[in-house]
Amino acid sequence: MSMNKRIAIALAALLTLAMGMPALAQVTFQGNVISRETKAVIAPFGGLVDELPLRKGDVIHVGDAVATIRTTKVYAEMDGVVSGIFAREGDQTEGITERYGGVMYLEPVNKYVVSATTEKAYNSSATKYVHIGERVYLSCTKDGTHVGTAVVTKIDAVDDNGNTPYTLEVTGGEFYMGETVGIYRDSGHASESRIGRGTIQQNAAVPVKGTGSVLKVHVQVGDRVERGEVLFETVEGVLDGLFAVDNTIYSPLDGFVATVDAAQGSAVEKGGKLITVFPTDAMQIEMKVSELDLAEIHEGDKVSIEFEWDADGTLQLEGVVSGISSVGDDKAEGSTSTDAQYSAYVDFTPVDSVRLDMSVIVYVQDEADAADADDGE
């Protein structure tokens, strides 16, 4: 007990006697604020820790950001329209892909392809040789009313007849499905520039795959997306059908950071500890009670609590003795006392200014004397 508080207690006792009022028997104990438990904030999914700015001793509240876990972003490999989304947040991509062929599909902006061959090419060495990526011009063989442009996207091996099969992606123009078109290097469709003939087909939707569990889907069916746009994000491990708003982990409780169990840049598994917290609602006071004073304190006793730092006594808290140990504590090394020491605990409702390990004085009032004092008023 601090000297100021001892003086204050003595003066209060003298003043009570001088006024002729019955003195209330009070027993005081020294104590410290402790936490009766710790709770861990865990990672709901695995990955690398991008941010974890907390330190031991930091105050944390419900909803405060604890950490962010790095996700894997899956991007559109081409311009297109989202034509099917088979996975929802929380689903495993591998299972969805096995069942549907992909997490989602993109229909290419260029909706036609041409399955072509050099069989009907103009009879020259130049027109029998097709270049990957070259731009060509199309004209329907029926009447030439349907024209357009295309690019060579695939060239296959020469067949047994010496012709080269290849594939075009139509980049402009409207055609009928199954329509036959001539393919030219010249925009005017000059016959000597013809490099083959082919059939208009539908450009197949492209499956988009991924690994891990889907954390967030950024698109909807029917959305037009550009190459490089984020389609969805995944995380490592299984989400058990659950999903989060984003990849930030938020605190589910109020308290003080006891330990920081992960580090920025480190890998954390699902269920791994990010931080350990002393919960605010688990705070209590621990006191050491000599065996000579055990008769002065009982479970259920109401007590008053003063804090050593609160010199002017503006903070007034009440509490209840919640437990007294039945086994004495080990004596401190070098102690000359022969009295056994026991731990007693007080439950109370802390305020924002209360911190762990603070020193307190606990006043236990004798109930019989308190009742006598009330009768004498």
| Residues 332 and 289 both lie in one domain | yes
Consecutive sets of 10 residues in the chain, 377 residues long: mean pLDDT of each?
Answer: 46 44 68 96 89 95 94 94 93 94 95 96 94 97 96 96 96 96 97 97 95 92 96 84 71 96 90 95 95 93 94 90 90 69 95 93 73 50
Instruction: Tell me, yes or no, whether 18 and 143 share the same domain.
Output: no
Residue keyed to tokens 């069942």: 99
Instruction: Say yes or no: 189 and 218 in one domain.
Output: no
Residues 82, 231, single domain; the answer is: yes
- Rounded CA-CA distance 130/155 in Å is 8
Which residues are within 8 A (CB) of 214 and not within 5 positions of it... i.e. 6 or more apart? Answer: 87, 88, 89, 90, 91, 92, 93, 103, 232, 233, 234, 239, 243
Cα angle, residue 366 at apex, residues 365 and 371 outer, rounded to 5°: 105
Which pLDDT does position 85 carry in this prediction?
A: 96
Q: Which domain holds residue 123?
A: 112-202
Residues 155 and 174 placed together within one structural domain of the fold: yes
Q: pTM above 0.95?
A: no
Token code pair at residue 361: 């004085």
Whether 366 is covered by a domain: the verdict is yes
Considering only CA atoms, which of 284, 290, 323 is closest in space to residue 32?
284
pLDDT value at position 332?
58
Domain stop point among 159, 178, 202: 202
The answer to whether 146 and 140 are in contact (CB under 8 A) is: yes
Region of residue 189 (phi > 0: left; psi between -120 and 50: alpha; otherwise: beta): left
Instruction: Write down the pLDDT at residue 6.
Output: 45
Report how far residue 187's alpha carbon sits from residue 149's, in angstroms, rounded to the nearest whole number: 9
Same domain, 80 and 221: yes
Q: Residue 326 belongs to a domain with what CATH number?
A: 2.40.30.170
In a domain, 64, yes or no: no
The predicted pLDDT at position 38 comes to: 96
Q: How far is it, in rounded angstroms, from Cα 102 to Cα 199?
A: 28
Regarding whether 104 and 119 lie in a shared domain, the answer is no
In a domain, 195, yes or no: yes
What's the pLDDT at 21? 41
Are 82 and 212 in a shared domain?
Answer: yes
| 191 three-state secondary structure | helix
Q: Is 328 in contact with 275 (CB distance < 8 Å)? A: no
- What are the distances in angstroms from CA 190 to CA 119, 185, 314, 338? 17, 8, 99, 115
Please tell me the total count of domains within the chain.
3
- Is the backbone of residue 314 left (phi > 0), alpha (psi -120 to 50) or beta? alpha
Strands 135-140 and 80-85: unpaired
> Please, which residues have CB within 8 angstroms of residue 353's CB and are 6 or more apart in sequence?
315
The pLDDT score that the predictor gives to residue 365 is 75
Q: Would residue 290 count as lying in a domain?
A: yes
pLDDT at 15: 44
Q: Is residue 357 part of a domain?
A: yes
Which candidate, 80, 367, 94, places its Cα nearest to that of 222?
80
**Angle, vertex CA 330, rays to CA 325 and CA 333, nearest 5:** 150
Q: Are residues 291 and 325 in the same domain?
A: yes
Kindly report the length of the chain. Answer: 377
Q: How far is residue 17's CA from residue 28's CA, in Å, rounded to a whole number? A: 19
Residue 255 lies in a domain: no
Q: Is 302 exposed, middle or buried (0-12, 13-18, 19+ CB in 10 A)?
A: middle
What's the one-letter identity of residue 182?
A: G
Give the per-residue pLDDT at 241.
Answer: 52
In a domain, 247, yes or no: no
Residue 77 CB partners (closer than 8 Å, separation 6+): 106, 206, 208, 227
